[in-house]
């Protein structure tokens, strides 16, 4: 499968946006004008955006001469256990984690950052079709760093904890990790830069 064979494109014109797909015709991808539906457009400017995960193009239609902006990015598809495929949704990841974070000191900004980290990690693999199980595994690491209680809640559902021993084992593992971090930070030797200036 060609890396750019399925690109999600967002038209941004006159304050409105609509999702469209590029139509792959031979070697060239043709972009229809969102105004007059002419089957070609000229690229005026291209820039990398969103930390290198997307390309922003400013285009002009040769027929009506109107300009519009497209944003192109690789579309990831989630392959569910029941065989259904659907586009990856960062919002869906955040909604699932939000339930585990109820009553915890986790802000919307924290959840947005977690969603971004999960998506970036999945995109870095370079795989267009992702099994739904991989998404759950990708959530566990960042969530453990964010809030251990929310992590336990999410892991108990995702990893199918059946007994109290499953919880106890995971809690012991979290305690061991926490004590290892504390020991390594307390063993740090002061450097000459840590000495007082006066």
Q: Are residues 31 and 117 in the same domain?
A: no
Please give the Cα distance from 97 to 150 (Å, whole number).
8
Residue 197 within a domain: no
Please give the Cα distance from 15 to 103 (Å, whole number).
37
Q: Are residues 101 and 12 in the same domain?
A: no
User: What is Dmax (Cα atoms) for the chain?
Assistant: 73
Mapped onto helix, strand or coil, the DSSP state of residue 56 is strand
Q: What is the pLDDT of residue 176?
A: 86
> Looking at 73, 97, 121, which one is the last position of a domain?
73
pTM exceeds 0.75 for this model: no
Q: Are residues 23 and 106 in the same domain?
A: no
Q: Are residues 26 and 83 in the same domain?
A: no
Residue-wise pLDDT for 150-188, tens only, equals 999 999 888 888 888 988 898 898 888 877 766 665 555
Q: Are residues 15 and 89 in the same domain?
A: no
In terms of Cα–Cα distance, which of 7, 126, 24, 134 is closest to 71? Answer: 7
Q: Are residues 20 and 100 in the same domain?
A: no
* Tokens describing residue 145: 């760093």
Residue 1 within a domain: no
Residue 188 within a domain: no
More confident residue, 141 or 15: 141
Q: Are residues 47 and 87 in the same domain?
A: no
b (16+ CB within 10 A) / e for 85-103: eeebeeeebbebbeebbee
Residue-wise pLDDT for 30-83, tens only, equals 678 899 999 889 999 999 887 777 889 999 999 999 999 998 877 889 999 899
Q: Are residues 92 and 63 in the same domain?
A: no
% of the chain beyond a pLDDT of 90: 42
State yes or no: pLDDT of 24 exceeds 60: no
Q: What is the pLDDT of residue 21?
A: 36
Q: What is the pLDDT of residue 10?
A: 41
Query: Where residue 107 falls among pLDDT bands split at 50, 70, 90?
Result: very high
Q: Are residues 52 and 83 in the same domain?
A: no
Residue 86 within a domain: yes
- Greatest mean pLDDT among 13-27, 120-134, 142-156, 179-193: 142-156
In terms of Cα–Cα distance, which of 13, 128, 6 is closest to 70? Answer: 13
Q: Which residues neighbour 38 within 8 Å (Cβ) at sequence distance 6 or greater?
A: 32, 61, 62, 63, 64
Residue 2 within a domain: no
Residue 193 within a domain: no
Mapped onto helix, strand or coil, the DSSP state of residue 128 is coil
Q: Give the domain extent around 47.
A: 8-73
Q: Are residues 105 and 176 in the same domain?
A: yes
């Amino acid at each position: 499968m060609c890396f750019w064979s399925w690109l999600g494109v967002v038209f941004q014109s006159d304050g409105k946006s609509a999702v469209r797909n590029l139509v792959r015709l031979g070697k060239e991808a043709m972009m229809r004008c969102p105004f007059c539906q002419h089957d070609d457009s000229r690229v005026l400017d291209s820039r990398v955006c969103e930390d290198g995960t997307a390309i922003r193009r400013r285009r002009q239609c040769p027929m009506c001469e109107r300009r519009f902006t497209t944003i192109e990015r690789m579309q990831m598809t989630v392959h569910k256990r029941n065989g259904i495929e659907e586009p990856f949704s960062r919002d869906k990841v955040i909604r699932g984690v939000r339930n585990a974070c109820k009553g915890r000191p986790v802000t919307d900004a924290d959840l947005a950052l977690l969603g971004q980290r999960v998506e970036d990690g999945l995109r870095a693999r370079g795989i267009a079709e992702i099994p739904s199980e991989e998404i759950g595994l990708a959530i566990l690491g960042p969530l453990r760093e964010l809030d251990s209680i929310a992590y336990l809640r999410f892991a108990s559902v995702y990893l199918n904890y059946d007994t109290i021993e499953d919880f106890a084992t995971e809690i012991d593992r979290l305690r061991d990790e926490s004590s290892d971090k504390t020991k390594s930070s307390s063993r740090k030797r002061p450097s000459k830069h840590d000495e007082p200036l006066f």
